[in-house]
């Protein structure tokens, strides 16, 4: 039997995209063809070039479709690749909202255009992915047909992210695994650890990944005199991440906006105690002082206080991490969830007729 082909529109280097595509290959026996924009959006000039590339994208996508004859198109982000998928002419189409809302940043001068684009993508899609319930709130506000929405995270590999945590309990060994971008507020984390350092609290802080804030954050760590206790790993292979998580007893993430974070699931699976921002995307999974801590945006003093409280309450922390592992096993198992998604795609392909 000939393999079904899926055209994936999105940034193939992203961990979320890799998980999505690999799961479809493994559990759906799909062949994946990809296309993505080549221009980064690093500054104003490159963003203009990216918009120009986007305006010419449909022509390139149509050529790929003509060459490969995909059975289905899937795409991430309802305001960019999802819109292109809706215009592609291929049926069925599945699109994924990536954040709490893809209408971001909220003060963008392109917001009215993004709303129109998103409305069209939602209307034309045969399936819409919400990786968590927090994403359905904005969908309902714009009257999306919720019968098309599948609320299910892609999940994480529970064999890779094991719960054999090798933490050092005599001190705080914290890890941050988010991209070094402004919206993830690594500076708030460093300021909180400066407070702990001044209280003579022993710690090791590992900051994983790369991004445009790397040099600024290194300078801040030096300025705060905590550079000898902070390790910036830079970009690491995915195979190294489970080991680093299993050597940590705290996972810290301070974004100002959040959809569904695979990084949080990975930490919860690895018995790291989560301390995260008090925003809707995190409130879906974390209850304050029950299975983690919720911190007000940009409040580094509260962050320091709550890290210290949970470190001193080790019995609470140990109970919480066991509860978190069970939760992830039940709700975010990559093997189980990706089988469901792959089967849904096969059903769509078999039942959807070209219009």
- Cβ atoms of 25 and 338 closer than 8 Å: no
Structure tokens at 207: 């900051």
Q: Is 288 helix (H, G, I), strand (E, B) or coil?
A: strand
* Sole residue written with tokens 């969830």: 337
Per-residue pLDDT of the chain (355 residues; tens, 9 = 90+): 689 999 999 999 888 899 999 999 999 999 999 999 988 776 777 777 888 888 899 999 999 999 999 999 999 999 999 999 999 999 999 999 988 888 777 777 778 889 999 999 999 999 999 999 989 999 999 999 999 999 999 999 999 998 876 666 789 999 999 999 999 999 999 999 999 999 999 999 999 999 899 999 999 999 999 999 999 999 888 789 999 999 999 999 999 988 889 999 999 999 999 999 999 989 989 999 999 999 999 999 999 999 999 999 999 999 999 999 999 999 999 999 999 999 999 999 999 855 4
Q: Is 311 helix (H, G, I), strand (E, B) or coil?
A: helix
Return the pLDDT at 353: 56
Task: Report d(CA 335, CA 155) in Å as an integer.
Answer: 8
Task: Report d(CA 305, CA 245) in Å as an integer.
Answer: 22
SS3 content of the chain, % helix, strand, coil (to 5): 50, 15, 35
Return the pLDDT at 272: 95
Return the pLDDT at 108: 75
Task: Report d(CA 137, CA 284) in Å as an integer.
Answer: 12
Task: Report d(CA 64, CA 190) in Å as an integer.
Answer: 46
* Sole residue written with tokens 């990706």: 338
Distant-in-sequence contacts of 285-294, Cβ < 8 A, 24+ apart: 285/132, 285/327, 289/316, 290/320, 291/320, 291/323, 291/324, 291/327, 292/320, 292/324
Q: Is 253 helix (H, G, I), strand (E, B) or coil?
A: strand
What are the beta bridge partners of residue 251? 175, 274
DSSP 131: S
Q: Is 275 helix (H, G, I), strand (E, B) or coil?
A: strand
Task: Report d(CA 299, CA 256) in Å as an integer.
Answer: 11
Task: Report d(CA 290, CA 351) in Å as an integer.
Answer: 45
């Amino acid at each position: 039997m000939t393999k079904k082909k899926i055209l994936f529109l999105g940034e193939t280097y992203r961990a979320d995209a890799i998980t999505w595509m690999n799961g479809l290959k493994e559990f759906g026996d799909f062949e994946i063809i990809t296309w993505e924009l080549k221009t980064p959006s690093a500054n104003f000039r490159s963003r203009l070039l990216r918009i120009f590339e986007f305006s010419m994208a449909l022509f390139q996508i149509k050529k790929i479709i003509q060459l490969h004859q995909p059975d289905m198109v899937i795409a991430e982000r309802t305001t960019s690749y999802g819109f292109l998928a809706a215009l592609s002419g291929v049926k069925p189409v599945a699109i994924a909202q990536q954040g709490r809302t893809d209408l971001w940043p909220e003060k963008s001068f392109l917001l009215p255009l993004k709303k129109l684009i998103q409305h069209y993508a939602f209307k034309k899609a045969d399936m819409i992915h919400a990786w968590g319930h927090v994403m359905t709130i904005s969908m309902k506000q714009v009257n999306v047909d919720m019968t098309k929405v599948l609320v299910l995270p892609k999940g994480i590999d529970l064999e890779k992210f094991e719960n054999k945590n090798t933490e050092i309990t005599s001190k705080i060994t914290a890890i941050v695994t988010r991209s070094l971008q402004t919206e993830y507020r690594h500076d708030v984390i460093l300021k909180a650890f400066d407070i702990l350092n001044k209280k003579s609290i022993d710690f090791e802080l590992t900051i994983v990944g790369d991004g445009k804030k790397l040099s600024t954050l290194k300078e801040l760590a030096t300025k705060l005199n905590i550079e000898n206790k902070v390790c910036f790993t830079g970009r690491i292979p995915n195979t190294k991440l489970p080991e680093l998580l299993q050597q940590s007893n705290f996972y810290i993430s301070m974004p100002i906006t959040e959809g569904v974070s695979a990084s949080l699931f990975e930490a919860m699976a690895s018995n790291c105690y989560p301390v995260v921002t008090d925003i809707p995307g995190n409130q879906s999974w974390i209850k304050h002082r029950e299975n983690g801590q919720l911190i007000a945006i940009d409040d580094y003093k509260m962050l320091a206080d709550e890290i210290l409280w949970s470190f001193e309450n080790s019995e609470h922390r140990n109970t919480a991490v066991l509860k978190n592992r069970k939760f992830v096993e039940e709700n975010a198992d990559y093997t189980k969830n990706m089988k469901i998604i792959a089967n849904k795609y096969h059903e769509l392909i078999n039942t959807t007729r070209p219009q």
